[in-house]
Amino acid sequence: PQVGIAVLEDDVELGANVWIDRAALGETRIGRGTKVDNLVQIAHNVQIGEHCLVVAQVGISGSCRIGHHTVFAGQSGCSGHLNIGSGVVLSARAVAIKDVPDGVTLSGYPGRPHREWLKTQANLQRLDGLREKVKELEERLAELEDPRS
């Protein structure tokens, strides 16, 4: 059985259907001024700093330590036992799978720095054209290497 407690500091706001697991032994703590939207799961032994924003359908796995002024956008989350720094932003549907230093904005899965993720998404749009170009170049190379020509 979980024998720990859950502590909600002053001015914490919780939306509908928010689950906050009490700690296994110590405490789960939600820092002062933090706002938690609807349908959020905060697992056991999580420590959330002051004035954070946790938007709808977020999942925070057990024993995570989250700094102050951090934002978890809709459907984002983090793996267990991570340290998420202060001022971090996890954009919508981003997932942190390793520690995140202060002030970083993550996007995607696995979570990457936002500008890197944007470049990756732009390159994905070009893949079909590149595949066709490679196929064309392979055919031309095969013709040049064909001893019969």
Number of CB atoms found within 10 A of residue 101's CB: 12
- What residue type is assigned to position 95 of the chain? V
Distance CA 112, CA 90 (A): 10
**Positive or negative, the Cα torsion across 99, 113, 126, 139?**
negative
H or E element at residue 27? strand 27-30
Q: Identify whether 44 is a catalytic site residue.
A: yes
Catalytic residue among 44, 51, 69, 114: 44
**Residue 33, phi-psi category: left (phi > 0), alpha (psi -120 to 50), beta (remainder):** left
3-state secondary structure 48-102: ECCCCEECCCCEECCCCEECCCCEECCCCEECCCCEECCCCEECCCCEECCCECC
Q: Which residues are catalytic?
A: 44
